[in-house]
């Protein structure tokens, strides 16, 4: 398998190097120059081994070189971030100018968007310095800044606070991985919106196209829930989704539908292929097909606002099309790994993005497990065959992603096998119809836009209905599930060994898989016993509340003010992860008088 997919090994060594680079930087403080020197020596060694035909030695040298390359580029990126933080901290300024780069996103009490700083001012002296930042403005604004607008803001930018509680989500590290090092909460009277004409620049086309698409959807989709769903699925903005609507997708295991992801690009890719695949039978039709695929995928990517998930999925699809048009044999796992290689070389921090991890695992699961799952059952009816194909795809993707989903989200939807095929089937209608709606709106064909809008609305209602099915069934969501990193690695090791045993038809790999399962059970039981036996006070810092914790067995006693006992949001953000990680079954609130 690896001989047909050499880029899989290359990406694995590169990713391991990226992780090692972070460890070397944070634990031993190794200077990046040492890694660069080692990389130079590895390069020379690889060249010599290749020159004298030592294939095995060259393969080992290449693996070491990719490892060092990953470590080097990650450490270099982090060094630059540290330098930027130090400079921003020492820079003397009372105000700064910032250009809005993203479409405003509604939050509970604010409006959030990313900016690029341009100048920092102290009195009459201004210093040019570019930096990415996250800005929060009050939600009561009469004029909301748009992409390309320039703001002059009075105040300072500050790094986001690190987590204050055990197990708490590290928001500062999350932003750092996205390249955002500083944030600011800006009051109404602390900024001024400057007029600008930069929105016509190509760099702001994705935001402009996305806002235009939102206007077209709003004009042709009258149902508020259907509009909110389409806006989330195609434009990646959930601010119009109702809380219960989001909850339905969470408990059905289809919450990934609400985020623009590689699956959406794959559906559009397959729809374009089904609509124009006949062109490939012409003499020069394959080049016309390639051009149409590039234009339509590019248009869809612009509509979504070009988030990283769409960029990597579109890249993978175009690699597939180019290989097909060029009549080159391609192995899907190799193509998938090649697109990941390009992304990680450009942005090594993408490895830490949950969407990146889940989307590539889902695609790998489909490539590796789909055929085996689909072969279990051979329906003769065309409709049943389609249903089983969609179900097999859902199973393959869910199998590949569920360990990591448990690690991050601590829950498992028990009826995903029932709901996901329906959701995916209706999404296969909704997404292409929504793209057709935008295309015919662009061409000014009003009656066809109306018809496409009705199809989009109807399919969106069916999608919402499918996601709501589990609420009527018992035990629809298993919550507070916990896996540590070792358990996740063991589960994926077991999956790979079982798959490779079937692939190579070797019983030995099944025996190794059984050993992995035994080791997994041992680790899980040990962790549970250690967690249960730990007793003592726990330090919590919750803004606006006073909270003292004491853990005893699988119970957590929280002594707090009365307001905290009723503040579920404060508990979820500050304490819930600790409770899940330590397998707490009982939360006992003790309120102070």
Which CATH number characterizes residue 108's domain? 2.40.50
Are 440 and 574 within one domain?
no
Q: Which of 180, 234, 229, 236 is nearest to 355 (CA)?
A: 236
Are 214 and 281 within one domain?
yes
Cβ-contact 213, 305 below 8 angstroms: no
Of 174, 200, 226, which residue is a domain's last?
A: 200
Q: What is the pLDDT of residue 1?
A: 47
Q: What is the pLDDT of residue 516?
A: 93
Cα–Cα distance measured from residue 308 to residue 210, given in angstroms and rounded to the nearest whole number: 15
Of 39, 62, 88, which residue is a domain's last?
A: 88
Q: Which two tokens stand for residue 524?
A: 């899980």
Are 318 and 214 within one domain?
yes
Cα–Cα distance measured from residue 470 to residue 464, given in angstroms and rounded to the nearest whole number: 12
Are 429 and 302 within one domain?
yes
Instruction: Give the up-direction half-sphere exposure of residue 187: CA atoms within 13 A in the CB hemisphere.
Output: 5
pTM of the shown model: 0.85
Are 288 and 424 within one domain?
yes
Q: Is residue 42 part of a domain?
A: yes
pLDDT tens-place values along the chain, 593 residues long: 455 678 888 999 999 999 998 888 888 777 877 887 888 888 888 888 777 777 778 888 888 898 989 988 999 999 999 999 999 888 899 999 999 888 888 877 788 889 999 899 988 889 898 999 999 988 777 778 888 888 899 999 999 988 989 888 899 999 999 899 999 998 878 888 886 655 556 667 777 888 888 889 999 998 999 999 988 888 878 878 888 888 888 888 777 777 777 677 777 877 888 788 788 777 777 888 888 888 888 888 888 877 776 777 777 777 777 776 766 666 778 878 888 888 899 889 989 988 788 888 888 888 888 888 888 887 877 778 877 887 788 788 888 888 988 898 888 888 887 888 888 888 888 988 998 999 898 888 888 889 999 999 999 999 999 999 998 888 888 888 888 899 999 999 999 898 888 888 888 888 999 999 999 999 999 998 998 898 988 888 888 888 888 998 889 998 888 888 888 888 888 899 998 888 888 888 887 66
Enumerate residues 6+ apart whose C-beta is below 8 A from 363.
Answer: 262, 266, 316, 336, 397
Enumerate residues 6+ apart whose C-beta is below 8 A from 254.
Answer: 416, 419, 420, 423, 466, 467
Q: Which two tokens stand for residue 421?
A: 């095929």
Q: What is the pLDDT of residue 198?
A: 57
Q: Which of 225, 287, 233, 293 is nearest to 263 (CA)?
A: 233
DSSP 254: -
Q: Is residue 491 part of a domain?
A: yes
CA 153 to centroid of chain Cα atoms: 31
Q: Is residue 21 part of a domain?
A: yes
Structural domain span for residue 492: 485-519
DSSP 349: G
Cα–Cα distance measured from residue 75 to residue 28, given in angstroms and rounded to the nearest whole number: 12
Instruction: Give the up-direction half-sphere exposure of residue 275: CA atoms within 13 A in the CB hemisphere.
Output: 15
Cα–Cα distance measured from residue 197 to residue 185, given in angstroms and rounded to the nearest whole number: 26
Are 196 and 268 within one domain?
no
Are 417 and 509 within one domain?
no
DSSP 27: I
Cα–Cα distance measured from residue 83 to residue 78, given in angstroms and rounded to the nearest whole number: 9
Q: Is residue 376 part of a domain?
A: no
Are 468 and 419 within one domain?
yes
Q: Is residue 528 part of a domain?
A: no
Q: Which of 204, 175, 80, 170 is nearest to 130 (CA)?
A: 80
Enumerate residues 6+ apart whose C-beta is below 8 A from 424.
Answer: 390, 393, 394
Q: Which two tokens stand for residue 542?
A: 């919750």
Q: Which two tokens stand for residue 507?
A: 């019983």
Q: What is the pLDDT of residue 38?
A: 83
Of 88, 108, 130, which residue is a domain's last?
A: 88
Cα–Cα distance measured from residue 266 to residue 256, given in angstroms and rounded to the nearest whole number: 14
Q: Is residue 366 part of a domain?
A: no
Are 301 and 445 within one domain?
yes
For the chain, what's the residue count?
A: 593
Enumerate residues 6+ apart whose C-beta is below 8 A from 29.
Answer: none
Q: Is residue 353 part of a domain?
A: no
Are 214 and 315 within one domain?
yes
Q: Is residue 223 part of a domain?
A: yes
Are 193 and 234 within one domain?
no
Q: Which two tokens stand for residue 432?
A: 């292409």
For β-strands 536-539 and 477-479, DSSP reports them as unpaired
Total domains in the fold of the chain: 5
Are 168 and 102 within one domain?
yes
Q: What is the pLDDT of residue 195?
A: 66
């Amino acid at each position: 398998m690896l001989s047909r997919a050499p880029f899989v090994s290359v990406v694995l060594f590169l990713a391991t190097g990226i992780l090692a680079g972070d460890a070397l930087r944070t634990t031993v403080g190794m200077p990046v120059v040492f890694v660069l020197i080692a990389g130079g020596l590895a390069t020379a060694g690889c060249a010599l081994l290749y020159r004298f035909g030592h294939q095995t030695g060259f393969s080992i040298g290449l693996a070491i070189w990719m490892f060092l390359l990953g470590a080097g580029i990650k450490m270099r990126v982090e060094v630059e971030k540290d330098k930027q933080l130090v400079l921003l901290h020492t820079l003397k300024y009372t105000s700064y100018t910032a250009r809005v780069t993203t479409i405003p996103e509604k939050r509970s009490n604010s409006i959030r968007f990313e900016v690029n700083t341009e100048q920092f001012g102290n009195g009459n002296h201004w210093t040019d310095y570019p930096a990415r930042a996250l800005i929060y403005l009050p939600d009561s604004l009469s004029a909301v800044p748009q992409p390309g607008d320039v703001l002059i803001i009075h105040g300072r930018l500050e790094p986001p606070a690190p987590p204050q509680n055990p197990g708490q989500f590290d928001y500062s590290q999350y932003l750092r991985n996205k390249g955002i090092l500083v944030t600011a909460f800006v009051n109404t009277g602390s900024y001024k919106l400057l007029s600008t004409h930069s929105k016509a620049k190509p760099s702001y086309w994705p935001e402009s196209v996305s806002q235009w698409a939102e206007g077209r959807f709003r004009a042709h989709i009258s149902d508020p829930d259907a509009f909110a769903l389409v806006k989330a699925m195609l434009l990646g903005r959930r601010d119009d989704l109702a809380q219960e609507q989001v909850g339905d997708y969470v408990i059905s295991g289809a919450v990934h539908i609400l985020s623009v992801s590689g699956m959406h690009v794959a559906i559009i890719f397959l729809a374009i292929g089904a609509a124009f695949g006949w062109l490939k039978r012409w003499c020069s039709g394959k080049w016309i097909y390639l051009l149409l695929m590039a234009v339509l995928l590019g248009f869809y990517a612009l509509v979504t606002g070009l988030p990283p998930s769409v960029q990597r999925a579109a890249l993978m699809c175009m690699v597939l099309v180019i290989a097909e048009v060029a009549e080159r044999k391609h192995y899907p796992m190799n193509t998938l790994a090649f697109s990941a290689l390009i992304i990680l070389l450009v942005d090594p921090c993408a490895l830490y993005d949950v969407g990146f991890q889940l989307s590539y695992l889902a695609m790998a699961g489909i490539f590796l497990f789909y055929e085996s799952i689909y072969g279990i059952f051979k329906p003769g009816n065309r409709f049943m065959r389609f249903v089983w194909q969609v179900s097999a795809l859902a199973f393959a993707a869910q199998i590949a992603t569920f360990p990591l989903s448990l690690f991050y989200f601590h829950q498992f939807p028990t009826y995903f096998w029932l709901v996901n095929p329906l959701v995916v089937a209706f999404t296969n209608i909704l997404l292409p119809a929504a793209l057709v709606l935008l295309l015919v709106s662009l061409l000014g064909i009003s009656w066809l836009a109306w018809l496409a809008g009705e199809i989009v609305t109807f399919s969106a209602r069916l999608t919402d209905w499918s996601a709501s099915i589990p609420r009527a069934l018992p035990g629809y969501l298993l919550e507070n599930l916990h896996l540590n990193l070792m358990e996740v690695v063991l589960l994926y090791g077991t999956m790979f060994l079982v798959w490779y045993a079937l692939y190579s038809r070797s019983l030995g790999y099944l025996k190794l898989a059984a050993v992995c399962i035994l080791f997994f059970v041992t680790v899980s039981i040990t962790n549970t016993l250690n967690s249960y036996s730990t007793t003592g006070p726990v330090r919590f810092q919750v803004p606006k509340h006073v909270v003292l914790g004491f853990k005893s067995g699988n119970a957590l006693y929280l002594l707090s003010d009365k307001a905290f006992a009723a503040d579920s949001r404060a508990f979820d953000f500050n304490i819930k992860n600790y409770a899940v990680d330590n397998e707490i079954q009982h939360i006992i609130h003790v309120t102070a008088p």
